[in-house]
Copies of this chain bind each other. A is one copy, B any other.
């Protein structure tokens, strides 16, 4: 590249973009780790985007109608940090840049949501950002339909690299965006022909232009180092009726000795080569020094959004009070006051009616009372609507001509659904929930982990949660998936035992502000066990005594979900034999763990024999069998020891020995 010509053609632009490159080189060198090449390659594109297009105000970073900027290629985090610093985000100080990738800094190796203003989502696991962006853009459409264009009218811009586009989740994302004609979604592809292992062609020769077109996108191409062309492409992208992908031809590590090589992808820390690159840029200041005029030019860019934001505030204030309140409440993740009341009324009604229902059907029933009072919920399913029972009568369907619809047919895209739900939650103002089979948490795992890491309350409705699924067989029967979800930090795994617990779990999921929820629900019908109405949310304690021992307490049965009914039947057998037996329902281990020791001790006192029953593997159960005042010698587990099989559910429970008789027998063998 002839850098001199580039600089001469657009000197003001050049100095601004070079500030990004120089800060990147300096920060990566100081950290002695990180990724220099991507920010250096995409600095021109990002500069034009921030200078000419992005609607933002660093003094109000969470202004709801800002454009969203998503760095899907998260390893290029210094691009984002440099932009935030240069445009004047108060918490992105030069000190933070200098502490890139160090303990306690806001400038983590990859952008971490919550670490600093202006980081819209956590990226790094490739493909997640572009998949989040579909949810961001859907959220904008939905809220625009709900509140009007005067207060909701913004774009979602994404920078994605070859890695993002090779990950399968990006296909799920772009076909969703194309299907729904998300015209305010604009993806800037950093088309640099380089991956870590070498040229992209080593592993991929996809015609990305053709691919995006096949998914229903408009595609533009631009020289990623020509600010005039970039600006024109962005302007054109904003006029389309489809989502737009702009293929930006760039040089990774522009101007460095490692330009256009896979070495350029990584940390460029050689002092001489850094000096040579800065020399070639015409950059004369020392490390971390941005010339005052360049910083001022960047700050002017940062300042240009304030007026727009103030005008928006005036328009927002002109909304009817009820609308404003709902808007603000939803953004604050506050549940409506009515929620608690409708849940209580539902519980009362159901504890009296005592229906036999699969908890997936219980879930639908409770959603029927929740959705009308929570306009911020957005339901959906990955092509299992009738099985997941996620669609209620009043939601409507989100579509090109019905943007206010609150139900999304996600298609067979569990991963894309989960990542897009994260995007909706991150956008603000919405509470997404989406369903698939529990076994297919596997497909959604990368995005589910990010819900937990980002501390956003996405709700996963995972039905068919055991061998109770029956004939579909072991490919569809989760056995390790409760353990997997429970092993994930900051995740509430609810496995309700009946309609009442299901309602309580939903209340907790929809009032959570920082923790995602997994609702593990049955295919098969379950008795109502909680026939005595209590206004108190018992699931909130994680575990509780469902039925205490008659007479001397000799055994405690621990169970979750569909196996609580089995534990209750085992209790009947044992009590008939004079063995006093307590049944503890444990719908949420994590919440039980959070209770104080006194409560845990009351529920699980030391002494009696303990048997846990759950139609999953034992992994993790020892915590409650041995660890909470239990004793190894006096404990047992009834559950799965391997993958399931294909047969009717009742046969499977018999064959795998998950029965009331087996539980009672285990207790007796331990007592003897």
Contacts and interface: CB of A to CB of B under 8 A. Distances in A.
Assembly stoichiometry (copies): 2
Given A484-B487, A651-B103, A108 B412 contact: no
A446 B446 contact: no
B195 A475 contact: no
B489 A617 contact: yes
A98 to B, nearest CB: 14
Interface residues of A, number: 108
B443 A489 contact: no
Candidate in A34, A202, A619, A651 with the most chain B CB atoms within 10 angstroms: A619
Interface stretch (A46-54, A118-126, A230-238): A118-126
A156 to B, nearest CB: 20
A218 interface: no
Interface string A96-114: 0000011111001110100
A486 B619 contact: yes
Contact of A474 (B112, B208, B652): B112
Given A383-B195, A411-B166, A487 B490 contact: no
A530 interface: no
A453 B123 CA distance: 32
Given A195-B411, A196-B386, A381-B197, A440 B125 contact: yes
Interface string A365-408: 00000000000000001011111000000000000000000000
Contacts of A489: 479-480, 617, 641-643
A448 to B, nearest CB: 8
Given A172-B167, A383-B163, A472 B109 contact: yes
A34 B471 contact: yes
A42 interface: no
A216 interface: yes
A445 interface: yes
A552 interface: no
Given A197-B409, A203-B411, A642-B489, A110 B168 contact: no
Given A386-B196, A453-B643, A471-B109, A476 B124 contact: yes
B619 A167 contact: no
Contacts of A617: 487, 489
A101 B486 CA distance: 31
Interface stretch (A244-252, A512-520, A620-628): A620-628
A412 B163 contact: yes
A33 B470 contact: yes
A38 to B, nearest CB: 14
A130 to B, nearest CB: 11
A391 to B, nearest CB: 9
Given A33-B470, A110-B475, A166 B175 contact: yes
A201 to B, nearest CB: 8
Contact of A645 (B103, B474, B642): B103
B162 A166 contact: no
A15 to B, nearest CB: 29
Nearest to A381: B197
Contact of A197 (B125, B383, B479): B383
Interface in A169-217: 169-172, 175-176, 178-179, 195-198, 202-211, 213-216
Interface string A451-494: 01100000000000000001111111001100110111110000
A443 B108 CA distance: 22
B215 A473 contact: no
A446 B443 contact: yes
A196 B387 CA distance: 10
Candidate in A112, A207, A411 with the most chain B CB atoms within 10 angstroms: A411
Given A108-B474, A195-B411, A484-B487, 17 more contacts: A74-B475, A103-B648, A103-B651, A103-B652, A109-B471, A110-B646, A112-B473, A122-B475, A125-B443, A162-B412, A175-B206, A204-B411, A452-B643, A453-B475, A489-B643, A490-B642, A626-B626
21 contacts: A34-B471, A102-B648, A105-B646, A124-B473, A125-B439, A126-B412, A166-B175, A175-B204, A179-B203, A195-B412, A197-B381, A197-B409, A197-B411, A207-B215, A440-B446, A442-B445, A484-B487, A486-B619, A620-B620, A626-B626, A627-B632
The 6 closest A-B pairs by CB, nearest first: A168-B168, A203-B411, A210-B214, A171-B171, A626-B626, A108-B646
